[in-house]
Amino acid sequence: MSADILNIKQAAAPEGLRKWEREFTQGVKADATTFNRSGIPIKPLYTQRDWTGERQDEALGYPGQYPYTRGIYATMYRGRSWSQRQLIGLGVPEDYNQRVKEILDLGASALSLIPCNSVFRGYDADEVPHELLGTCGTVINHVKDMDTALDGVPIGDLSTAMNDPSPFTLLAFELAVARRRGIPWTRITGTSNQSDCISHFVANHMFFRLALQGARRVVIDHIKFCNAYVPNWNPLSIVGQHMQQAGATPAEAMAFTLASGIQYAEDCIAAGMDPDQFLPRFTFFFDISVSLFEEVAKFRAGRRIWARLCRERFGAKDPRSWRFKFHGQTSGVDLTRQQPLNNIARVTTQAMAGILGGLQSLHTDGYDEVFSTPTAEAARIAVATQNILREEAHLTDVIDPLGGSYYIESLTDDMEAKINKIIAMIDEVGGMYNAVEKGMVQQMIGDSALAFQKQVDSGSQTVVGVNAYQTEEDPGTYPSLEYPEPARMQGYLQRLAQFKRERSNADVDAALTALARSTEGRNANVFEHVVKAAEAGATHGEICGTLRKELGFGHPLTMV
């Protein structure tokens, strides 16, 4: 073992520490140097030599205080638990509505809508092969569909997350539903979960509907519109999850996410917006891997870096602008088809990392997501996992319970240094748009993904059930969600045709024409016209198709 790793062979080391070093070296014959997923060397023991606490006030502060390392609210979970936000999406709007009501009865406190892959790709159900409709999300094509999906759901009192990329038709449909129900838009709360077009360009290609610079225009208009008319809505969720799922290390994912945040903030400022108006509504969305301590340190470092960026780089003066609010989703790429019940343990560990890291909202994967959209039983276990961690394990009793640990504080500092180094590289090439258009980010993610896979293939990284502790079993014996019945989907397509026949097509044509014209110049707000088109009865595919003609089709850049 190297002296750098143990770091205790200084003459001034206490006798107890030197004795431990001798006994450890004798007891561990092989090289015990390990590295976390971000490539940071991990020692077998941390002491006051690694973190003295001298910079405690500057580096940590207290919960709810700059730089927010220990949490963005003074009360954290003692005051309010995280939002239990289960991703739901299957079948037709009626199916979604039924599952939503079941999940709310089980304890979920917020909603998250996953649309069908046809919706993600920007098409109506009658524009794509019917066989895949509703298999991985809900078919939502127009305002009436949204009304059905949210039937009986108090959208003025419940946070809703719309997993919907630019041009954000699902929020437009929800706003149209709210107006029909007489609910003021000021009461609508939630998040445009997939508004980060940069992450789609890099790592989530099915979501990438519009050309990058066109999507860039729409997202800024979306932020401006929501700040003005839907003030309790979070119009921007900057997504690190996609990049970490694609292979980025935790440190890289945090760095790319913060670099994207810098880019969006600078675009908003260039569009004439005040940082203290838009920054409080920026949110973040992260993957939580099974590397527990690394994830905790990632989130603590991210909070500290973002606070400093907002105050020092953007000049924001309102403390609400410095808060790093984030949603966490347990990592699907850590789950395995082999011995899938082991995924419950993985999801529990991931959820603990997110909770100990101070998240504001959490989705826990169903153990069977490796096979299909979660079954009702797997979704119930996923929700119960959160309830157990909160109310049986008492993870919420102490704020930032790992704070002050020699290991966690040292690791937080190391992660911060690594993240800042990558942000500086991106700044050097002119920001995140330049970095992704050159393929720089994609190349880094690809390299990291390959390196991790080589570790798995060589056995140096254990994956239980995959390269170690294998058993003979047939994954086909586990239940998976059945595809929607063809007759049920045919019934939906008939209702879609009826909707298109019975609406005022003159109003729809006028609204789509106005939407197309809004892209000319910078005076009109494109998202305002998306909302108007939705209210007039335009469908999702018609709105996306109109903007594709004007702003360009989304073609992501891949690197090999």
Q: What is the mean pLDDT of residues 498-527?
A: 96
One-letter amino acid of 53: G
Please state, in angstroms and rounded to a whole number, the distance separating the CA atoms of residues 242 and 248: 9
Q: What token pair was written down for 188?
A: 């609508």
The reported pLDDT for the residue numbered 321 is 98
The reported pLDDT for the residue numbered 1 is 47
Given a cut of 60, whether residue 462 has pLDDT beyond it is yes
Q: Are 75 and 310 in contact (CB under 8 A)?
A: no
Of 78, 21, 66, the C-alpha closest to 47 is 21
Tell me the CA distances in angstroms from 294 to 42, 52, 243, 260, 412, one per residue in order: 10, 20, 17, 21, 8
Please state, in angstroms and rounded to a whole number, the distance separating the CA atoms of residues 442 and 462: 26
The reported pLDDT for the residue numbered 103 is 79
The reported pLDDT for the residue numbered 11 is 53
Q: Which sign, positive or negative, has the C-alpha torsion 102, 108, 111, 113?
A: negative
Would you say residue 248 lies in a domain? yes
- Taking only the tens place, the pLDDT of each residue in 223-272 is 999 999 999 999 999 999 999 999 999 999 999 999 999 999 999 999 99
Task: Please compute Rg for the chain using Cα positions.
Answer: 24
pLDDT band at 86 (very low <50, low <70, confident <90, very high): low
Q: Which sign, positive or negative, has the C-alpha torsion 396, 323, 192, 132?
A: negative
The reported pLDDT for the residue numbered 524 is 96
The reported pLDDT for the residue numbered 341 is 95
DSSP assignments along 522-545, one per residue: SSS-HHHHHHHHHHHT--HHHHHH
Per-residue b or e along 304-321, where b marks 16 or more CB atoms closer than 10 Å to that residue's CB: bbbbbbbbeebebeebeb
Q: Which residue has the tokens 């007039």?
A: 536
DSSP assignments along 169-199, one per residue: HHHHHHHHHHHHHT--GGG--EEETT--HHH
Cβ neighbours around 424 below 10 Å, total: 11
Given a cut of 80, whether residue 276 has pLDDT beyond it is yes
Residues 6+ apart with CB under 8 A from 30: none
The reported pLDDT for the residue numbered 477 is 84
Would you say residue 96 lies in a domain? yes
Q: What is the mean pLDDT of residues 273-294?
A: 97
Please state, in angstroms and rounded to a whole number, the distance separating the CA atoms of residues 68 and 304: 6
Please state, in angstroms and rounded to a whole number, the distance separating the CA atoms of residues 463 and 450: 16
- Taking only the tens place, the pLDDT of each residue in 412-447 is 999 999 999 999 999 999 999 999 999 999 999 999
- Taking only the tens place, the pLDDT of each residue in 185-210 is 999 999 998 999 999 999 988 888 89
Cα angle 321, 319, 261; round to 5? 25
Tell me the sheet residues that pair with 221.
none
231 burial level (CB within 10 Å; 0-12, 13-18, 19+): middle
Please state, in angstroms and rounded to a whole number, the distance separating the CA atoms of residues 346 and 332: 10
Would you say residue 164 lies in a domain? yes
Least confident of 42-46, 135-139, 198-202, 261-265: 135-139
pLDDT band at 521 (very low <50, low <70, confident <90, very high): confident
Q: 374 versus 274: which is more confidently predicted? A: 274
Least confident of 95-99, 325-329, 401-405, 497-501: 95-99
Q: What token pair was written down for 36?
A: 């976390």
Would you say residue 407 lies in a domain? yes
Given a cut of 90, whether residue 127 has pLDDT beyond it is yes
pLDDT band at 479 (very low <50, low <70, confident <90, very high): confident
The reported pLDDT for the residue numbered 33 is 74
Please state, in angstroms and rounded to a whole number, the distance separating the CA atoms of residues 144 and 419: 45
Question: What is the domain extent for residue 302?
Answer: 74-456
Of 42, 156, 5, the C-alpha closest to 408 is 42
Of 40, 451, 59, 421, the C-alpha closest to 258 is 421
Would you say residue 66 lies in a domain? no
Please state, in angstroms and rounded to a whole number, the distance separating the CA atoms of residues 232 and 460: 47
- Taking only the tens place, the pLDDT of each residue in 53-79 is 888 888 999 999 999 999 999 999 999
Strands 233-234 vs 236-239: parallel, antiparallel or unpaired: unpaired
The reported pLDDT for the residue numbered 32 is 65
Please state, in angstroms and rounded to a whole number, the distance separating the CA atoms of residues 536 and 534: 5
Would you say residue 274 lies in a domain? yes
CATH of the domain at 307: 3.20.20.240
Would you say residue 29 lies in a domain? no
Of 259, 339, 328, 243, the C-alpha closest to 290 is 328
Residues 6+ apart with CB under 8 A from 180: 143, 147
pTM: 0.93
Q: What is the DSSP letter of 372?
A: S
Please tell me the total count of domains within the chain: 1
pLDDT band at 43 (very low <50, low <70, confident <90, very high): very high
Would you say residue 54 lies in a domain? no
Residues 6+ apart with CB under 8 A from 441: 202, 243, 256, 426, 432, 435
Cα angle 519, 521, 527; round to 5? 35
Q: What is the DSSP letter of 489?
A: H
C-alpha count within 13 angstroms, C-beta hemisphere, residue 103: 30
Least confident of 31-35, 306-310, 493-497, 534-538: 31-35
